[in-house]
Amino acid sequence: MTSVVQYSMPRTGSTLIRRILYNVFPEYEQPSQHPPGQYSDLDILIISCRHPLDVFVSMIRANGADGKRISNGTLDNYLPDLERQYRQYAHDMSKFKGYKLKLKYEKFWNNYDYVFDELENFFNDTLGFKYHKPVEISKEKRTNIKKICGIKNTKKIQDTLKNFDDVDNKTKIHGNHIATPEPFNYKKILTDTQIAFLEERLHEPLEEWRQL
């Protein structure tokens, strides 16, 4: 059976995309996955992509290392794990032969209609007859999903949870899940030297992000 699978690097808006998919495709399984992925080439992957330096900063903050700046010691501590995850992500993508749709975080973080439009275009035009029915997300349904999945409602759920390890079973929202969702927040946190260093170390995922 074909599944619509949300598969992405962590801290890329993946929980939001999974919740949208759950409301658009209630008849399908929607496991949300991070590298390494567990799926088949028959599945349809919906992938959220975010600027790698924002992913890095968000990952550090989710692990409790907060503050206006990130020290070089903290950077050195967390970077190998992020690089490992990106290598696994690249490996998974190189092996996957099925259909996939990539959604850019910077386009959907405050514009859910971008996601709705991309889903309609992908399933109706790219997949066409391979999908059993047209995907039509009505204005009323869009409004309802925006309310359910919006930041305001998400923060209400988040505030009932103790920490990042505490997870809401239905929505998969963690405690301390949302910090600063605005794109390019890394520019406020990292020094110019750190940015140049990370851009060199993460040049492959950064190039993929630039091409979206």
Measured CA distances, 176 to 20, 60, 125, 155, 162 (Å): 20, 12, 38, 9, 8
CA distance 184 to 49: 13
Give residue-wise pLDDT tens across range 175-184.
566 665 789 9
CA distance 111 to 76: 34
Tell me which of 27-36, 57-66, 167-176, 177-186 is least confident: 167-176
CA distance 105 to 13: 7
4-210: CATH class: alpha beta
Quick one: residue 67, left, alpha or beta (phi over 0 = left, psi -120 to 50 = alpha)? left
Give residue-wise pLDDT tens across range 121-171.
999 988 875 666 788 999 999 999 999 887 776 767 666 766 666 666 666
Overall average pLDDT of the 189-196 stretch:
96
pTM greater than 0.75 (yes/no): yes
Q: Which of these, 12, 112, 14, 1, lies nearest to 56 by C-alpha position?
A: 12
Q: What residue ranges do the domains of the chain occupy? A: 4-210
Token output for 58: 């968000």
Q: 3-state DSSP call for residue 113?
A: helix
Overall average pLDDT of the 186-195 stretch:
94
